[in-house]
Amino acid sequence: MTSPKPTHPAPETVLVIVEGKDDLHVSNIELICRKAKKTLFIFDISHAALANTIINVDGSYFEINNGVSIIKSTQISGVIIRSFFVKFADKEKALEEKLWADDWNQVVKGLLSILVCDGVKMIPSYPQSLVFENKLSFPLICKIGEFSYPNTLVSNRKSLLIKKVEDGKNILKPFSQKKYVIDQIEYGGKVIRITKKLLESTNNGDSPILVQNEIDKQFEVRVTTVGRSSFACKIDNQKSDKASLDWRRYDFDNVPHTSMMLPPEISSGIQKIHNKLNVNYSAIDFAVDVNNEWWFLDFNPSGQWLWIEKLTTMPITLSIVEYLTGD
pLDDT digits (tens, 9 = 90+) for 99-114: 888 999 999 999 999 9
Q: What is the pLDDT of residue 5?
A: 47
Q: What is the pLDDT of residue 178?
A: 65
Task: Decide which of 61 and 4 is more confident.
Answer: 61
Q: Which domains does the chain have, with CATH numbers?
A: 13-123 (3.40.50), 131-136+140-147+216-314 (3.30.470.20), 151-213 (3.30.1490)
Chain centroid to Cα 131, Å, comes to 11
The pLDDT of 268-285, averaged and rounded, is: 97
Angstrom distance (rounded) from CA 298 to CA 221: 11
State the virtual CA torsion across 264, 261, 300, 164 in degrees, nearest 10: 70
Percent of the chain with pLDDT over 70: 91
Of the chain, the percentage scoring pLDDT greater than 90 comes to 69
pTM (two decimals): 0.89
* CA proximity to 225, closest of 177, 174, 286, 175: 286
Contact 123, 78 (CB under 8 A): yes
